[in-house]
Structure 1
Amino acid sequence: MAAPLHPVVFWAQKAETVTLRVDLKDVKDPEIDLTKESLTFKVIGVGAAGLNSYQFTLNFYKSVDPEGSAFRITDREVNFVLMKDGPSEEWTRLTLSEEKQPWLKIDFDKLTVDDDSEDEELRRKAEFEEEQLKQIQKQLTESEAEAYTDLKKMYLCVYNFLQFIGYSYIFIYLTVNFVIKGQGMRQAYSKIILPLSVCQVFAVLEVINPLLGIVKTGAMAPLIQFTGRNMVLFVVIRGEDRMVGEPVLCYLFLIWSSIELVRYPFYMLCSIGQESMIISWLRYTIWIPLYPAGFLFEILSLWTAIPFYEASKKYNLELPNAWNVSFDMTTFLYIWIVGILSASPMMMSHMWRQRQKRFGSKKKVH
C-alpha cells in the first residue's frame, strides 16, 4: 500500500501559543481531532501532489489546551492557534519524538528572532527553501517513474494479449477446418498466413524489449527463436509456392500456436505482477512434448522444401559473379537440418533447468 501523502506544515511558537500553517488549497471534508497530547488531521485538498487526500498526526512535545485552541480554513491554507497548557515557556521542539519529519517546517514568517541570530536564521531559511526545491524535484521524479512503469505495463500487457489473440485464431481455424473438417491445406494456408506473418513480424519486439531494458530477460533466446521461425516462414515456406499445399505445414503451425497459447498469457500476467499457477505450470511443462514435435516438423518442412529448391534453384548464387561467391540453397537446407539436430538438445536442457528452478523439489533439511 502506498504511504499516505503529508501536506507541508509550517510551525512557529510564542511563550503562550503554537501556530500551525497547513499548506493546502481548496480544502474539503476536514477530519480534525485535537487532544491535549496530539493533533490528527485528514482532508482532501490541493497540495504538492495535486488534488488528493492528505493527512498527518502530531504528538506534541508538551500538552496543549484544546478548549482554548482554534483553527480556521481559508481558500489557500489551514491555520491553527494552539494554546499551551501550563506555564508560559518556549518548547525546545514541536513533537514528542526527536525524529525530523521532512514535511514539518519552521514558519520563518512568524518566527521572532534576536538581531544577533538574524544571519543564522537567514541561512536556515535558505536551507529550508533548498530542501523544499529538492522535495519538489523528488516528487516530480517519482511521478515520472510511476507513469513510465504504468505505461510499460500497459504496453507489455497489450502486446502479449494481441499475440495471444492472433495465435488463438490460427490454432482454432486449423483445428476446426483442417484437422476436424479435412479442409485442404492450400485453402487453410490462405486463411492463416497473414495473421501468422503479422504475429511473427511483431515478435521482433521480444528482442528489442530486453535491449531497451523494458523487460529483464535476455535477448539471445528470443533472437534465436525469432530468426529461426522467420527464416522457415518467410524464406523457405513463403519463398516457394509449391510448399503451400503441404500438410506438414499445418502441423508445424499448430505446434507453434500451441506453444504461444500458453507463453503469451504467462507473460501478460507477469507484466501486471500477477500469476496463475495453472498457466505457470503449463508454461514450464507443455514444452516437453511440443518442443521435440516442433523441431521434428521444422526438419520435415525443410526436408519437404529441398526437392522444390533443388529444381527451381531459387536463391542460388553461381560463379562467376561480381562477389566471387557461390551459394546453394539445397546445401544450406541440409546444413540447417543438421543445425537443428545439434541445437535442440541444448534448448531442451535450458528449458529443463528453467523448469527445475521453478518447480524443482526442495531439499529436505534433516
Structure 2
Amino acid sequence: MAYIEEHHEPPPRPKKQGPPTLVKFYLLAYNILSALGWFYILLITVTHLFNLDGAHNAASVSPSPFAQLLARIPLARPARTAVGKLEEYLPAAFTPVLRRAATTYARVGWQTTIVQSFAVLEVLHVLLGWVRSPLGTTLAQVASRLYLVWGITYLFDNTRTHPLYASMVLSWAITEVVRYSFYAFALLGREPRFLLLLRYTLFYVLYPTGAGSEAGLIYASLPSPGPAASLLSHLPVRFQALFEKPWYQALHDDVRGVLFCIWWPGLYVMYTHMMKQRRRVLGKGRTLGAKPKSI
C-alpha cells in the first residue's frame, strides 16, 4: 500500500526530461489515431464474423448440375480448401462463422494493411529518441507484421481466404487497441489500472492465437507437392526447366520455410518475456498508480 511521508522528506530528484511538447502532442495523436484505427478493424471483423449487420442472410447458392458432375470425377475434383477440411471436425453450429472467417480479408484486408503499415513510424520514433523502446525488439515486431500483410497475404491468394486470417486480425486488433490506449494515457500522465491489467494479461491468449495464426498463414503459402509436380518429375530435364520457378520465387519459398520453423521458438521467447514483464509490473512491491518506466 502506498503512503505519504509527512515531514523530513529529502529534496526531490530532478525529473527526467520527457519529449518536447510538440513531440508529445504528435505521439499522443499517433497513439490515439492508431487505437481508433485498430478499434475500427476490430469492430468490422466482429460484425462480419457474427453477421451482426445481416449481410450474410441471403440463401446460399447450390452447385450447378455440371459442377456436381465434375465433383464425381476424381481427376476433376477440386482440392479441398482449409475451410472444407475444418468443417469435417467442427460442429455444424460453427460452420457459418468459419465460412465468414474465410472472407474476412475481403471485408477488412486493405484496412488492416494500411493501419499496420503506419507502424513503421514506431521504428522512426525509437531512432529519433522520442520513445525509450528497444530498437531491436521494435524493428523485429514491426518487420514481422509488415511481412505478414505485404509478403504473405498480399502475394498469396489462398492466404486471403484462409480462416486463420480472421484469428490473426482479431488477435492483432485487440492487442493494439489496448496497447495504443495505454500509451496515450501514459503520455497524459495517467495509468488506468484496467488497461494495465489487460496489457499484461491478454497476451496469455492473444500471443498464441496471433503468432499461431501467423505461422499457419506462412505454412499455407508454402508450395505443396501435388499431381502436377508428380507429372513434371517424369518429364525430360530439358522440359522440366520450362516449368521451373524464377530463382527469386524459389528463394522466397525457402525463406518462408525457415520463417515457419523459427516462428515457434520466437513465440516462446516473446511469451516468456511477457510473463517476466508481467511479474515485474504487476508483482509485489509495485506502487499502485506509479508511472510506467517507458512508453
Output the TM-score relative to the length of structure 2: 0.64
Looking at structure 2, the residues matched to 174 and 206 of structure 1 have their Cα atoms a distance apart, in angstroms, of 25
- Residue 238 (str. 1) matches residue 154 (str. 2): yes
Alpha-carbon deviation of 1:362?
Answer: 3.5
Looking at structure 2, the residues matched to 340 and 179 of structure 1 have their Cα atoms a distance apart, in angstroms, of 30
- Residue 201 (str. 1) matches residue 117 (str. 2): yes
Say whether the 8 Å CA contact 1:170–1:192 is kept in structure 2: yes
Looking at structure 2, the residues matched to 157 and 316 of structure 1 have their Cα atoms a distance apart, in angstroms, of 47
**Rg bigger for which structure?**
1
1:252 aligned to 161, 168, 183, which one? 168
Q: 5+ residue gaps in structure 1?
A: 1-144, 319-324
Looking at structure 2, the residues matched to 163 and 356 of structure 1 have their Cα atoms a distance apart, in angstroms, of 27
Q: 5+ residue gaps in structure 2?
A: 1-16, 53-96, 230-243, 287-295
1:213 aligned to 104, 129, 150, which one? 129
What pairs with 1:252-291 in structure 2 (closer than 5 Å)? 252-291=168-207
With over 3 angstroms needed to count, the CA separation of the structure-2 counterparts of 1:292 and 1:243, relative to structure 1, is: closer
Say whether the 8 Å CA contact 1:161–1:264 is kept in structure 2: yes
With over 3 angstroms needed to count, the CA separation of the structure-2 counterparts of 1:271 and 1:240, relative to structure 1, is: same
- Residue 173 (str. 1) matches residue 96 (str. 2): no
More helix by share: 2
Alignment correspondent of 1:162: 33
Alpha-carbon deviation of 1:260?
Answer: 0.6
SS at match of 1:275: coil
Looking at structure 2, the residues matched to 283 and 200 of structure 1 have their Cα atoms a distance apart, in angstroms, of 19
Say whether the 8 Å CA contact 1:157–1:271 is kept in structure 2: yes
2:252 aligned to 318, 326, 329, which one? 329
Q: Percent identity?
A: 26
With over 3 angstroms needed to count, the CA separation of the structure-2 counterparts of 1:253 and 1:326, relative to structure 1, is: closer
Say whether the 8 Å CA contact 1:203–1:226 is kept in structure 2: yes
Say whether the 8 Å CA contact 2:102–2:166 is kept in structure 1: no
What pairs with 1:40-51 in structure 2 (closer than 5 Å)? none
Alignment correspondent of 1:361: 284
**Greater RCO, CA 8 A, separation 6+:** 2
With over 3 angstroms needed to count, the CA separation of the structure-2 counterparts of 1:277 and 1:200, relative to structure 1, is: same
With over 3 angstroms needed to count, the CA separation of the structure-2 counterparts of 1:278 and 1:185, relative to structure 1, is: closer
Alignment correspondent of 2:213: 297
Looking at structure 1, the residues matched to 225 and 137 of structure 2 have their Cα atoms a distance apart, in angstroms, of 29
Alignment correspondent of 1:74: none
Looking at structure 1, the residues matched to 249 and 222 of structure 2 have their Cα atoms a distance apart, in angstroms, of 18
With over 3 angstroms needed to count, the CA separation of the structure-2 counterparts of 1:267 and 1:356, relative to structure 1, is: same
Output the TM-score relative to the length of structure 1: 0.52
What pairs with 1:1-366 in structure 2 (closer than 5 Å)? 149-180=20-51, 182=97, 184-185=100-101, 187-307=103-223, 317-318=246-247, 327-362=250-285
More strand by share: 1
Alpha-carbon deviation of 1:327?
Answer: 4.0
With over 3 angstroms needed to count, the CA separation of the structure-2 counterparts of 1:241 and 1:151, relative to structure 1, is: same
Looking at structure 2, the residues matched to 326 and 306 of structure 1 have their Cα atoms a distance apart, in angstroms, of 11
SS at match of 1:328: helix
Please tell me the root mean square deviation across aligned C-alpha atoms, in Å. 2.8
Kindly tell me the number of residue pairs found equivalent between the two proteins. 210
With over 3 angstroms needed to count, the CA separation of the structure-2 counterparts of 1:308 and 1:254, relative to structure 1, is: farther
Alpha-carbon deviation of 1:184?
Answer: 3.5
Alpha-carbon deviation of 1:316?
Answer: 5.3
